Amino acid sequence: MKLHVLSVLVEDKPGVLARVSSMFARRGFNIHSLAVGPAADPGNSIMTVVVDAAEIEQVVKQLRKLINTLKITELDPSESVEREVMLVRVSADATQRSELLDAATVFKAKAVDVGATSITFEITGTPSKVNDFLELIRPYGLIDVVKSGWIALARDSKSRNLRAIS
């Protein structure tokens, strides 16, 4: 399967998120990531949906049928800015702390909480950078992990390759 990043402009009304997510479930599409926030226009929201689907056209057709959907754009990863935020708490005894802090520096992660037996890091970046950091520190012993989900915007370029779908 292939991951597709969709930017979906919807009306900011109660139940819209529930209708969108239940449409995906009914049709058997797997949502890899979902983030929702206010749009530039008051009264609207932007949903960034990362979906694992072979045929994205079927997903778009179903989204288009939902009454509160205003616009759907598939974002080309090479022509968009994609970010994810992760907080991760990892085991860290006194002998491992400097090693973990050095690894965090390479990835530009910040230590946001240091406890007696653990360090909590915050990292922001491309989904692949966030995942690479997670895999690097996994051997130390993960305690907790939470991710925001992908957010994305098209780059400002005259030659960008956007597929405005509706």
Can you tell me the distance from the alpha carbon of 2 to that of 128, in angstroms, rounded to the nearest whole number?
A: 15
Residue that is last in its domain, among 36, 56, 75? 75
Residue 159 lies in a domain: no
Q: Say how many domains are in the chain.
A: 2
Please give the helix or strand (H or E) that residue 17 lies within, else none. helix 16-27
**Residue 31 CB coordination number (10 Å):** 16
- Residue 160 placed within a domain: no
93 in the same domain as 57 = no
Higher pLDDT, 163 or 61: 61
Q: What is the pLDDT of residue 130?
A: 97
Residue-wise pLDDT for 101-160, tens only, equals 999 999 999 999 999 999 999 999 999 999 999 999 999 999 999 999 899 999 986 554
CATH number at residue 144: 3.30.70.1150
Do the domain assignments include residue 37? Answer: yes
Pairwise CA distance, residues 92 & 20, whole Å: 41
**What value, to the nearest 5°, has the Cα angle with vertex 22 and ends 61 and 2?**
55
- What tokens appear for 79 in the block? 């022509």
**Residue at which a domain ends, from 16, 48, 75:** 75
Among candidate residues 75, 109, 132, the one where a domain is terminated: 75
Structural domain of 57: 3-75
Contact residues for 142 (Cβ-Cβ < 8 A; gap 6+): 88, 89, 90, 91, 134
